[in-house]
Every structure is written in structure tokens, then in C-alpha cells.
Amino acid sequence: MMIDFELTEEQKSWQKKAREFVNQYIVPNADKYDRTGEFPQPIVEKAKEYGLLALAAPKDLGGPGLDAMSSALVNEELGKGCVGMQTTLGGNGLSSYPVLFGGNREQIKLYFKHILNGELAAFALTEPGAGSDPGAIRTVAVRKGDHYVINGTKCFCTNGGHAGVYTVFASTNLSERNRGLSAFIVEADQKGITVGKKENKMGIRASNTVEVIFNDVSVPVNRRIGDEGQGFKIAMKTLDVARLSVGATAVGLCKRILTETIQFVQNEKKNGKPLAASQYIQFKLADMATRAEAAEGLIDKTCYLKDSGRPYSKESAMSKTFATDSAMQLAETAVEIFGPCGYLRESNIEKLMRDAKVMQIYEGTNQIQRIVIANHVLKGR
């Protein structure tokens, strides 16, 4: 059988749309939002016009219901523009999947009413004592008749300060750890929700990362996604998708770093010759380009597996790890090639390095990804 890398017309049109959006609105503004750490509300408004806020919304609700390949192409373009802004827009995908995987029809409708209306959403899983180990979650949801009462604090919550709706993971049985977790749709106007500390980050400064505090938040039972105790598996399935998105974004970042570096070595001269004439630089460029290409290949294969309904959890973890480690490696090499100029705030390259670093950490650290990968290979998968 021939392996086909040709994009469909629909995939090409999403790639084109995202590229246009990035070039017109993200590239000219990325530096400003990086410096100020201000929330890019005008860009979010534009993303809404372009239909980039509701990529996961099902077709029968009027959304695009994108396949994995189209989503990856969009994320790659966003990653070329600004990883912080991708993180903001991507937050809507991340928080949508628990509802798509575990929700009933009414819940899907309720949830996507917010998203299709152009609102942002937030995925509230991580807590101060529960990052890599969701089993340690201390936020509780206690059933009281036809409601649950949620109490607890979430941290590092992307879009947490701007979300119209949250998917919240809370324990309905603390002694059961992972198996005691349940997922809920919580609308932001619910009484008892407060937004806490806003993090001042090294990179992805155009994204909003906050603490969200739930204090006696009353949530109707029909907002529980799936059964009690299904929350962990819903979160893991969601992270399988999210890790692929991070990988695709990192491919975009790799390509951006490569483009900036090629431009630099062609323009910068040493002893009257462009840096690009040096074989040392050429070897570096060759390795950078090969890594970017290999990362893209891994993403394409994982999208293929997902779109054809096959298991892709291992490949998603591999995609995230390889693409984000590659982005960091390319960024380091680029800064080295740029020399002192690469270390300056006014260079194009140092932001890319700061943004690359977090990609090895969020959506499950690359150490966690290696555990996931090893668990699969040890079981012969």
C-alpha cells in the first residue's frame, strides 16, 4: 500500500486560514503581548471570527468538528506565530474533550453553547499538590441531593481568568485516588468561583495562567460528565489529544526557529562571507532541519492513527516528547548561532527559547511521557 502524505482540500483550507490569521494578527502583535503579559483579547476576538475558537465543536451543532490532521495543521501554524496565543486558543480544545469523550447529548449542547458563542474555556485538573499525579487531587465534590458541592483550589489553569465555562476534576471519593475522580461542567457565573493569583511566566506570556478557587460551588448532578469515578480515564483520554496538539505546535515552533536561523546566517557576515558559508553552521542547520522533519513525521503518523480510529496514546506521548525536546534543542542551537544577539530581548530568537521550555513541562512533563511510552513498550504495544 502507498503511504499518502497529500492533504485533503479541507485540510489545506484550514491550514491556509490559520496561516492567514497568524500572519495578519499574531505575528505583528506577539512581541507586544510577550513584553506586557497582557491578555490578547483583541486576538481572541479575531480568532472567533476565523472560527478558530471552537475547532472541536461537533458538526451537528454547527461546529467544524475537525479531524486530528486539520487540528494539527492549525496548531502548527499557531506555533509558528506565538505559542502563548496557541495555548490560549488551544485551551478551548483541551477543555472540550472531557465533554466529548464522557458527556451525554444535553451536556455536549450546554458546553458548546459557550464555545460556539465565542467564549473561552478552561480545563481545571492540576492542583498545588497534584500535578503529575492526578490521584493526589484534593478538590472534592460532595453530593447533596440533586447537587454536588465543590470545594478546592486549582492552579496553573490556562484561560482560568477569562473562561465562560470550566471542566473541573474533583474527587467524589478521596480514598480511591485516581478511581475516585469525577469530571464536571461548571459555568463560570456559578456562585463561589474566584480567580486567584495570576502567574508571571518566563514564556507563553500571552496566555492566562491562574489559580481558580471553588468555594461551596453548587453544581447540578446532571453536570457530572460520565459516572462517578470515571474522571481519571476521561482526563487521560483528553490528554492523549492535548499532547498531540502540543507536539504539532512544537513542530510549528521548530519551523519558525529554523526560518529565523536561516535568515540570520544568510545575512550575517564573518570575514566578509555569510555565516551560511561555514560548514559548521551548515551541519547545525542540517541537524535542525532533520529534527523538525522527523517531529512532523511523528505527528502525521499519530494523526493518521487517531483519524482512522486506532490507538494512539503511545504515539501521542512520543509526538509531544520528541517535538518539544526538538523545539528546545533547536532554540538552544539557534541562540548559540546568533551569539550575543540571540541573548538580547530585541532579537527574534530569545522569546522562542522561553516559549519552547514550557512545552517540555506542560500537558504532562516529558518525564511523564516517557513513563507512558515505557509502559506501552513493556507491554509489547
Q: Based on the shown chain and the rule CB under 6 A, indicate whether residue 237 belongs to the binding site for ligand COS.
A: yes
Q: How far is residue 86's CA from residue 106's CA, in Å, rounded to a whole number?
A: 29
| Type of residue found at 294 | A
| Minimum CB distance to ligand COS, residue 301 (Å) | 17
Candidate segments 20-28, 110-118, 190-198, 232-240, binder of ligand COS by CB under 6 A: 232-240
Q: How far is Cα 72 from Cα 70, in angstroms, rounded to an integer?
A: 5
Distance CA 222, CA 277 (A): 65
Q: Per CB under 6 A, does 130 bind ligand COS?
A: no
DSSP letter for 64, please.
Answer: -
Instruction: Select the residue interacting with ligand COS from 37, 135, 196, 297 (CB under 6 A).
Output: 135
Q: Which one of 103-111, 119-127, 265-273, 289-297 is the stretch in contact with ligand COS (CB under 6 A)?
A: 119-127
293 belongs to the catalytic site: no
Segments in the chain forming alpha helices (H) = 9-21, 30-36, 41-49, 68-81, 83-102, 105-116, 231-267, 279-307, 313-338, 350-359, 366-378
What is 166-179 written as a DSSP string?
Answer: EEEEEES-GGGGGG
Catalytic residue among 77, 119, 127, 363: 363
- Name, in order, each residue with C-beta under 8 angstroms of 88's C-beta and a sequence gap of 6 or more: 39, 40, 43, 44, 120, 158, 159, 206, 207, 208
Using Cβ positions, the residue closest to ligand COS within the complex turns out to be 364
Minimum CB distance to ligand COS, residue 139 (Å): 14
Nearer to ligand COS, 7 or 236 (CB): 236
Q: 325 or 350, CB closer to ligand COS?
A: 325
What character string, x for contact with ligand COS (CB under 6 A) and - otherwise, covers 174-193? ----x---------------
When binding is defined by CB under 6 A, the residue of 236, 262, 289, 294 that contacts ligand COS is 236
Q: Would you tell me which residues interact with ligand COS (CB under 6 A)? A: 123, 125-126, 132-135, 178, 232-233, 236-237, 239-240, 313, 362-364, 368, 371-372
